[in-house]
Amino acid sequence: MIQPDYVEILGPAQAPPRTNFPRGYMAGNLAGPGDPLGGDPIANALAEAINKTIQGGPAGSKERADRTEFFSDVLSKTGQKFVASPKGQETIETVKGSVQKSVMTISIPLFVVGLAVGYYFGSRK
């Protein structure tokens, strides 16, 4: 859609059209002062259940420490399986090659230029 580079107001300003989002979603805090999560009790209950499922409870609790250890083990095993796979080996070789190429083409020449500039300004005293 082509938009003009000017805005012509022909009438009174109007608010954008309402969307079909559920009540409370993207609408700010619709609750009273005692409810920090919002005014929709169903959304609050679902948010709390998902939060407890993922995090395992309040900070410092045994459930949360167990859940953190579980996710750590899952990520560790996933990484080990990826590195052992042929695609993982190919990715590691690609990264190794690109790091070596960047050192040879960028880092060493910049280091030499830096030494030359330092020598030039250092010898001008």
Q: Please name the residue that has the structure tokens 């559920």.
A: 22
Bigger pLDDT: 19 vs 116: 116
Q: Is the dihedral of CA 108, 114, 117, 123 positive or negative?
A: negative
Give the best-scoring range by mean pLDDT among 23-27, 49-53, 100-104, 108-112: 108-112
Cβ neighbours, 10 Å, residue 23: 10
Q: Using pLDDT thresholds of 50, 70 and 90, give the confidence band for residue 29.
A: very low
- pTM of this prediction? 0.39
- Cα separation, 89 vs 85, in Å, equals 6
- Cα separation, 106 vs 113, in Å, equals 11
Residue 17 has pLDDT above 50, yes or no: yes
pLDDT in tens, 75-115: 899 989 998 999 989 999 999 988 888 888 888 889 999 99
